[in-house]
Amino acid sequence: MKLKIVGVLLLTILLTSAIGMAATDFLSVERTYLQGGAKVFIFQPSPEGGVKLLKQGRLSGLVTLRTESKKWREAGATENLHTVPTPLAIYFTKDGKIGVKSIQPGKPLELKGMFSIAEVAEPSTKPRMRLPVTARLKYKLRSVFGTSSCPQGYEELNARYCIIENWEYLQDSYYADSKTFTEWIPFMGLKVRTGGSKKITILGIAWGIQLTTSTKSMWSLSVDGIPVLDFGTSYSGSTLKVSYAPKPYVRTGDGYLDRYLNLPLKYVVVIYNVPVYDKWRKEYASIPIAGVYPLEIMMSGYRTVRESDLNRGHLLTDYLSSSHFPTINIGTKFEAVRTSEEGIYDNIIFDFQGSSGYKFYSTPLGGSAVNWLWSKLPVIGALSITFSYSSTSQSVTTYNVDIERGAPNQLYYASILNRTLELADNNNVEVAMYFTTIDDGQDSSPPCIGNFCPNSLDPNTER
C-alpha cells in the first residue's frame, strides 16, 4: 500500500513538473516556470478595464496564476482574427535592473535584467498608500532595530534601491490601468508633395496585407521612452486579405497625393507607474511603463480596393481618420532617386515581408488611445501597434511605389519610416512602418541624406 502511495506521489510530481514548463489553461489557471529569482509583479489587463494583479513577491521556479485569459476569450468570441493579451511580468533583479516580459505559453521566463533602474526611473512624489495595521507595526519594528532604511510600504532590493513591497497598498489607478479601444487604424500610407517643374502627376502603387492565424500579436512596450517588443500569442479566426493595386496608375492632384489603407482594430493600452525609492539620493521615484496589444482585426475575408472606393468608407481614404502621420520619435531613412528621361523611376520602395525569419511591422497608435495614454503618463514615449510573422507564416505584407510620370532626369527624395526596437530576449530589430513621403526638395526644410541636405538649387549642399 505504501509503495502504491509513493508511486502516485511520484507520478503527480512528474506531471506537475512537465506542466510547469508550459503555460496551461484550465479554468483560467496557468502555470509557468521562472528561471532565476527576482522581485516580480505579474499583471494582466481585464476585459472590463483596469489591470488585474495575478502574482507578486520574490518568485522563482514553478508559478501558478489565475489569469483573465478565459474572460478575454469569452468577451472576444468572433470569426475575425483575435487573440488574448498575455500576462506581463515586471521584475527587479538584485543587481539593480528592471525587466519587462510577457508570459508566453510553453516558454519558461528568464528573469534577466534589461535596464538599469537608474536609467529609467523618474523623480516622483511619495505615493499614497493604505497600509494595514500589521504592516505598520512591521515597519515600526524595522525602524527601531535599524534593519532597513526603506520607507514604509517598501522593501530592500539592494544597497541603493527599495521596491514597493505590496502593489495592493497603492491607492489609485494612477499606478496601473488599461483601456480597450476600437477604431480604424492606418496600416499603410503615402504622401506626395511636389510642384512646379518637378511635379509628379502619375504614380504606380501596389499594396497588400494578408493576415492569418500564423500572425503573432506583439506587446509593444515603452519603458521610460525606451521601445521594447515581446511576443504574445498567435491569432485565432478567419484570414483577412486586402489588396490595393489601382490599374494602371494613380493620378495626383497637381502633384499632391494622400492615400491611406486602413483596417478596423480593437486593441488594449496598459500603463504601469512602478514606485521605487532611491536611498542614495533619498528621493521617491517611479518607472513609467506603457504597452499596447492588438486584440482583434475587426474584418475578415478577401477585399480588393479600387480608386473608386476612395472615401466611401474608412478602408481607403485620402486623410488620416484617427492618427497623425507617424513622424515623431520614429526613425527615418532617406533615399534620393533620379527619374529617367521619360520621368520614370521604378521601385522607390519595394517591400515584401513574411518569407524568412521573424519579421515585424508597426502602425501608429490611434489618436484616442494617445490622448488617454498621455493623460495618464505624460512622460511616456511614442507607442505603435506591432505584428509579426514567422518563416512558416502565410501572412505577408507588400508595399510598392513607382513614379510613372514625373519631371525628366530630376532628383526626388523619399523618406521611408522605420523603428528600431529592442526584443525582450534578443538584439535590436528594425521594424518597418509602411508610410512614405515623396518630396521634390523644394520646400523650406528638405530631407537630409547623410551629411547633405539637398535643395532645389544645389543637391549637394552640406549640412
Report how far residue 444's alpha carbon sits from residue 21's, in angstroms, rounded to the nearest whole number: 59
pLDDT at 361: 85
pLDDT at 328: 55
pLDDT at 455: 44
Half-sphere exposure at residue 380, Cβ-oriented, CA atoms within 13 angstroms: 30
Report how far residue 76's alpha carbon sits from residue 80's, in angstroms, rounded to the nearest whole number: 9
pLDDT at 461: 34
- How many residues in the chain? 463
Select from 109, 97, 117 the least CA-distant residue to 60. Answer: 109
pLDDT at 168: 93
pLDDT at 449: 40
* Mean pLDDT value of segment 164-190: 92
Look at residue 145 and tell me if it is in a domain.
Answer: no
Look at residue 53 and tell me if it is in a domain.
Answer: no
Bridge partners, residue 55, by sequence: 42
Reported pTM? 0.86
pLDDT at 296: 95
* Mean pLDDT value of segment 122-148: 82
Report how far residue 97's alpha carbon sits from residue 157's, in angstroms, rounded to the nearest whole number: 10
Least confident range from 191-200, 215-224, 438-447: namely 438-447
* Mean pLDDT value of segment 235-248: 93
pLDDT at 450: 39
pLDDT tens string 335-387: 888 999 999 999 888 877 754 455 788 888 878 888 898 888 887 877 889 88
The Cα-based distances of 415 to 207, 362, 447 in angstroms read 17, 16, 8
Look at residue 122 and tell me if it is in a domain.
Answer: no
27 has pLDDT over 80? no
Look at residue 384 and tell me if it is in a domain.
Answer: yes
pLDDT at 274: 96
Give the range of the structural domain holding residue 208, as residue numbers without chain letter. Answer: 181-273+289-439
3-state secondary structure the chain: CHHHHHHHHHHHHHHHHHHHCCCCCECCEEEEEEEEEEEEEEEEECCCCCEEEEEEEEEEEEEEEECCHHHHHHHCCCCCEECCCCCEEEEEECCCEEEEEECCCCCCEECCCCEEHHHHCEECCCCCECCCHHHHHHHHHHHHHCCCCCCCCEEECCCCEEEECCHHHECCHHHEEEEEEEEEEEEEEEEEECCHHHCCCEEEEEEEEEECCCCEEEEEEEECCEEEEEEEEECECCCEEEEECCCCCEECECCEEEEEEEEEEEEEEEEEEEEEEECCCCEEEEEEEEEEEEEEECCCEEEEECHHHCCCCCCEECCCCCCCCCCCCCEEEEEEEECCCCCCEEEEEEEEECCCCCEEEEEECCHHHHHHHHHHCCCCCCCEEEEEECCCCCCEEEEEEEEEECCCCCEEEEEEEEEEEEECCCCEEEEEEEEEEEECCCCCCCCCECCECCCCCCCCCEC
Torsion angles phi and psi, residue 427, rounded to 5: -80, 175
Which among 131-135, 401-405, 441-445, 447-451 has the top mean pLDDT?
401-405
Report how far residue 222's alpha carbon sits from residue 228's, in angstroms, rounded to the nearest whole number: 6
Look at residue 73 and tell me if it is in a domain.
Answer: no
Report how far residue 244's alpha carbon sits from residue 206's, in angstroms, rounded to the nearest whole number: 6
Least confident range from 9-18, 123-132, 151-160, 206-215: namely 9-18
Report how far residue 387's alpha carbon sits from residue 211's, in angstroms, rounded to the nearest whole number: 10
User: Strand 331-338 relative to strand 161-164: parallel, antiparallel, unpaired?
Assistant: unpaired
Look at residue 134 and tell me if it is in a domain.
Answer: no
* Amino acid letter, 328: I
14 has pLDDT over 70? no
Select from 323, 373, 338 the least CA-distant residue to 177. Answer: 373
76 has pLDDT over 90? no
Look at residue 432 and tell me if it is in a domain.
Answer: yes
Confidence of residue 453 (pLDDT cuts 50, 70, 90): very low
Confidence of residue 12 (pLDDT cuts 50, 70, 90): very low
pLDDT at 443: 61
Look at residue 339 and tell me if it is in a domain.
Answer: yes
Number of domains in the chain: 1
pLDDT at 371: 86
pLDDT at 382: 74
Torsion angles phi and psi, residue 46, rounded to 5: -105, 145
* Mean pLDDT value of segment 61-65: 90
Residues near 91 by Cβ (< 8 Å), separated by ≥ 6? 38, 39, 40, 41, 98, 99, 100, 101, 111
Residues near 256 by Cβ (< 8 Å), separated by ≥ 6? 192, 193, 194, 195
pLDDT at 4: 46
The Cα-based distances of 94 to 88, 283, 331 in angstroms read 20, 19, 34
pLDDT tens string 108-133: 999 999 999 999 999 999 999 988 88
